[in-house]
């Protein structure tokens, strides 16, 4: 993917509302390899995360993190695919994590995250 194609892709993806959402997370790849990640922001369709090592585009993965819902810490796990991976200086790699079509409960949790105050 060229830089121009990536820029055009990111412009299309950014047409939906995104919410800053910073959490520590655990990323598990299809081969059960786990690594630490940090979430950056969320939309109803995807999350942006930072990781230390590059990931292959198209890889299936799951992302687990905690969120507070109704004053309770709730562990969430979302399945999806890596849509892009870009080196961001010394901070690591910014990864687009496209969420798989989830069940009603996952959609409800995402809607709650999008509504909550910063």
Reported confidence tier of residue 117, pLDDT bands at 50, 70, 90: low
State how far the Cα of 96 lies from the Cα of 110, in Å rounded to an integer: 16
pLDDT of 66 > 90? The answer is: yes
pLDDT of 32 > 60? The answer is: yes
- Compute the average pLDDT of residues 83-87: 95
In this structure, the number of other CB atoms found within 10 A of the CB of residue 24 comes to 10
Question: What is the predicted pLDDT for the residue at 30?
Answer: 82
Percent of the chain having pLDDT more than 70? 85
- Give the global pTM: 0.78
Question: What is the predicted pLDDT for the residue at 25?
Answer: 97
């Amino acid at each position: 993917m060229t830089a121009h194609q990536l820029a055009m892709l990111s412009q299309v993806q950014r047409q939906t509302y995104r919410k800053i959402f910073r959490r520590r997370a655990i990323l598990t790849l299809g081969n059960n390899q786990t690594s630490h990640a940090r979430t950056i922001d969320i939309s109803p369709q995807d999350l942006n995360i930072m990781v230390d090592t590059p990931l292959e585009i198209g890889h299936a993965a799951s992302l687990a993190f905690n969120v507070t819902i109704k004053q309770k810490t709730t562990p969430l796990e979302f399945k999806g695919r890596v849509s892009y991976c870009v080196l961001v200086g010394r901070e690591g790699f910014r990864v687009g994590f496209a969420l798989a079509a989830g069940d009603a409960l996952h959609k409800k949790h995402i809607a709650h995250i999008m509504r909550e105050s910063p």
